[in-house]
Amino acid sequence: MVGMLEPALVHVFDLSVNVAPAQELGDCNGGRRRVIPIIGGTLVGAEVSGTVLAGGADWQTIRSDGVTLLQARYTVQMHDGQIVGIVNTGIRTAPPDIVRRLTAGEAVDPKLYYFRATPIFETGPGPYQWLTEHVFVCAGERLATLVRLRVYRVT
């Protein structure tokens, strides 16, 4: 198409999200449902920084084919005190042996599994409103008590 731009990714910040053990709900609506409490963390970027606040959670559905559907909701207090909400919806999938290792809390090279999400940001007028005006994607890594996310703005 004439004049169509190819999207590109620009790294914006990294999130390190501390998580508590899973709360298992059992089989619900076509998959195993569990909740992962979010208990803290950090947001670090070239132009922004903040603290992940306790009180959020990642509501997961693990389908029978092993694919994990993710929907995390949490808040970050930015360095200047403003609160930004994040709704991060994604997917994590891996071969069964990698899933077993992740479930056991082992550190697994993130190149061995697929963990991608699309965060949407919520905030009022001010210096972070630009977060509500762009599309973002992130790549994740799951550790025993930590989730690391590299967040990119789609240009």
Nearest to 43 by CA among 65, 18, 68: 18
- Is this model's pTM higher than 0.75 or not? yes
Q: What is the mean pLDDT of residues 11-15?
A: 98
Question: What burial class does residue 9 get, using C-beta atoms within 10 Å of its C-beta: 0-12 exposed, 13-18 middle, 19+ buried?
Answer: middle
At the top level of CATH, which class does the domain 11-154 belong to?
mainly beta
Which two structure tokens, joined as six digits, stand for 152? Answer: 């990119």
Region 138-150: mean pLDDT is 97
26-61 residue pLDDT tens: 998 789 999 999 999 999 999 999 999 999 999 999
Q: Where are the domains of the chain?
A: 11-154
More confident residue, 1 or 119: 119
pLDDT tens by residue, 79-133: 999 999 999 999 999 999 998 898 888 999 999 999 999 999 999 999 999 999 9
Contact indicator for 59, 74 with CB cutoff of 8 Å:
no
Residues 6+ apart with CB under 8 A from 51: 40, 41, 42, 43, 76, 77
Residue 1 has pLDDT above 70, yes or no: no
* pLDDT tens by residue, 65-80: 889 999 999 999 999 9
Can you give the pLDDT at residue 4? 81
